[in-house]
Structure 1
């Protein structure tokens, strides 16, 4: 299997994508918490281009960017697959992985902006959630009755955005707005492995 190390910071939803994938596949790893205000020489060495987390180091070789890391994990450790075996279904999953990578960052604008810019960010988030509700979730999870890479990619909605939605009183994620998404969030967070690996966001929200 080779030595696996993971550089990250617990506040980041992107690091938790990787943690969930490793845990779901039963891959042992060493976690290294990074202080992004004073980045370690090892992090800068492993990711000299973007200088950010997450970075997975497998047998001394670094892999950067959460989506790239997820694909690497899936291909390197094929046990307990997180992508469908059917080629069409796999292509659909990759479409939604791209959608998540493109759209998830807009959620943070709600926290980082105010006034008219924040209103637009909330409107954009609502439209994104509507797309997921109407076209993404078909069964218990995105790809059926088992958690896959797409669910992991959208995990920021299930935990981070739920917390933001509640703390700010936005009420975007209530069941009457998005029943499928609301059910998916519940199913995702109740999976035993996911449930055991959800960070306490209270310090982030209060900060």
Structure 2
């Protein structure tokens, strides 16, 4: 089981400010679209100065990117910590994918996917978030799995690429729909992505 170490007071304050800024950025994005997400607006909504915003993020896009990558990292960190230490990474990932999904995370990727149909910046944010998550996952698996770093890198990259296919496919086709049926569709796509990593593409894809 992976240990999760508690944060000190200073780290907790920084983490809260980071979360507040990200939440403010997404609140503006959902209300006004990407063009309505400004550093001034984020800072005002989060109750901090514009200077504080730039102490945490270089751009508004970086705040939006972090909102997705942090959710993915948190999902795996908490999920893997609850799984048996001797369980395979793919089995653990499949169990996590079968479980519940964070509604805020789903809302964010759904909105980015819908916006990405007409705004390439939204697509870039989603892709950048997945790349950040992949970099974290590679380091995580190199520590957890050990052995040849190539094997951990290959496995992490395969899982993240498969999950990326599920995330982007669902985000682009659901038109910001968060109904139970749509959320279940997301879960099904994630499980299909795990299946392809396990078995490859030697079988005829199903509709």
Could you state the TM-score of these two structures normalised by the residue count of structure 1?
0.32
Higher helix share: 2
Could you state the TM-score of these two structures normalised by the residue count of structure 2?
0.32
Higher strand share: 1
